[in-house]
Structure 1
Amino acid sequence: MSQFTDNFDRKFYYLRLSITDVCNFRCSYCLPDGYKPQGANNKSFLSLDEIRRVTRAFAAAGTEKVRLTGGEPSLRRDFTDIIAAVRENRAIRQLAVTTNGYRLARDVAQWRDAGLTALNVSIDSLDPRQFHAITGQDKFHQVMDGIDAAFAAGFSKVKVNTVLMRDINHNSLHTFLEWIRTRPIQLRFIELMETGDGGDLFRTRHVSGKVIRDRLLSQGWVRQISERSAGPAQVFCHPDYQGEIGLIMPYEKDFCSTCNRLRVSATGKLHLCLFGDGGISLRDLLESDDQQDQLQARVAASLSSKKQTHFLHQGNTGITQNLSYLGG
């Protein structure tokens, strides 16, 4: 099978695979009222064998990197087995997870032993009280212990995701920079994105990542070149800091021009964009090992309808009611 490619000659090296939409945090920008099942549409999540088949099919069409997302992926009891199943395929060179860090201190060593190569942890504030207010969980110290455990387990770098919010953390750059001065952490500021449920919050709290970028450039930070399977972050480094800063700015012009990733939901639907409409079901082609060619053909055909850009600028959030549904 040749490389997955769309009509704009974008090649897809990166699969974001949601394995559950359940989350035990209640972040103000995602699930402020806590997790609620998706009603009658809430079919069972992908099984271990289905995960093995879908990642194998993507790898055979050029996917080099898989990120396991949720909800909170570590809430699945078979999470370590899922890591091992994906890593059976040597073509997948990078296997990452995005986690709220809840299980990190306890389990990160076994995740690494199973084959996990990269780790993103969500931390929106370095103030324990504010962390509690944002997430609904008094787990700040537990998550920070988890990051220490990740380094102890052999991860040479940890990425930390911080959703940028006006008057909550956008003025805390100095605190964050001091934290990464002596730690190999890539701190990634992610612009708040409007979702179907979050319009009011967006209008109150959205602030452009340009505010951070201008401050970094004025302080001598330099932008790095991205590798082909990297995510959309603009990454900056500074000789005085062990850590790095990443900026994810979906409202910036040409954000989508380098799109290299596709998404599969926890119920087996292909999503061509985080903010697209609908989704293409793959579940019927994940029932046995001998359907891989058909599966790849369906994905390849679907790519002909991938749009050149999202439509967030026009306030069109597609079907994305909250970010737990597809893991951001």
Structure 2
Amino acid sequence: MLIDTYGRVATDLRVSLTDRCNLRCTYCMPEEGLQWLAKPDLLTDDEIVRMVRIGVTDLGVKDVRFTGGEPLLRPGLVGIIERVAALEPRPRISLTTNGIGLGRTASALRDAGLNRVNVSLDTLRPDVFQAMTRRKRHQDVIAGLEAARAAGLTPVKVNAVLMRGVNDDEAPELLRWAVENGYELRFIEQMPLDAQHGWQRGDMVTAEEILDSLRTRFTLTPEPNGARGSAPAERWLVDGGPARVGVIASVTRPFCRACDRTRLTADGQVRDCLFARTESDLRAPLRSGATDAEIAALWKTAMWGKKAGSGLDDPSFLQPDRPMSAIGG
């Protein structure tokens, strides 16, 4: 098992397939983009599948989520999912995406073995979408969500980040739209993972503010038996259910004590925390002939030293050098 000194066991593996993205969200990266990883630095499809296989068969990983950057930009994505779905025991497989390419790939991803998707959409207004992402692709995301729903990649979850003075007035309308379309909406507090390091706590729309806004239009009831456990979202029934809404309050209501995640970057680094400032290289031993057992041992060592928490509440907190696009969610 991937256990740490606090007794937490990592059974959820987040795998970044690329650091590239076809959007330029203002809370993530500058308009000109970033210096992307060179292709030789990226894990190959075979290397990714091998790392996932070691996680699943040797280290107790039960859930595999593919992320980016934007994972739909990875040419071998369908084949990777198909091979991971063939593992024994079979993990649950999900994908976090901006949804732009889902309209043409949702059915193929389902056929390959993908179980469900999380799609990022922060606004229902095309002009606000363009301002936030610096791209005119709003309708493509809507079409991608519809394709995912039609393909049965359910529950289709929608991730939304609210920014003060930009889209923070949209929470009730986003929830109304999600309920009407059968999507499960999750609001995420803006986190200090932008490449520009411009995040300010005072600018962040908090979970309490989001909930207060939603309650102006909806009755929210805590989900029965809804102890969050290792799940990042606290969830509420909307107007008695069955629709639900979640809030991921990584900053104001951290869930570090029950964290069950381990992360693999696109260039083969293991990260024990989204906000870690250190990482452990598994690409070098992978390419120098290490056995599965040796890689598993290195992975265990990397996770053993995981800190008690993210440190976001510590005045000395420093953002990780890598932005979200290079870490994977």
Q: 2:189–2:204: 8 Å Cα contact kept in structure 1? A: yes
Structure 1 208/315 Cα, relative in aligned 2: closer, same or farther at 3 Å? farther
Residue of structure 2 in register with 1:44 after alignment: 41
Give the drift of 1:26: 0.5
Letter in 2 for 1:324: S
Superposition map of 1:1-328 within 5 A: 3-38=1-36, 43-60=40-57, 61-195=59-193, 197-203=195-201, 205-216=203-214, 219-224=218-223, 225=226, 231-239=231-239, 243-287=243-287, 291-313=291-313, 314=315, 316-328=317-329
Give the drift of 1:163: 1.2
2 CA distance for matches of 1:227 and 1:187? Answer: 16
Structure 1 121/34 Cα, relative in aligned 2: closer, same or farther at 3 Å? farther
Give the drift of 1:208: 0.9
- Identity, in percent, stands at 33
Give the drift of 1:52: 1.1
Give the drift of 1:64: 0.6
1 CA distance for matches of 2:147 and 2:109? Answer: 12
Structure 1 29/196 Cα, relative in aligned 2: closer, same or farther at 3 Å? closer
With structure 2 as the length reference, what TM-score do the two structures score?
0.90
Give the drift of 1:181: 2.4
Q: 1:196–1:320: 8 Å Cα contact kept in structure 2? A: no
Letter in 1 for 2:327: L
Give the drift of 1:237: 1.8
Give the drift of 1:199: 4.1
Q: Which deviates more, 284-293 or 157-166?
A: 284-293
Letter in 1 for 2:128: Q
With structure 1 as the length reference, what TM-score do the two structures score?
0.91
1 CA distance for matches of 2:203 and 2:43? Answer: 35
2 CA distance for matches of 1:226 and 1:269? Answer: 32
Give unmatched runs, 5+ long, in structure 2.
none
Q: Which deviates more, 288-297 or 115-124?
A: 288-297
Give unmatched runs, 5+ long, in structure 1.
none
2 CA distance for matches of 1:195 and 1:170? Answer: 19
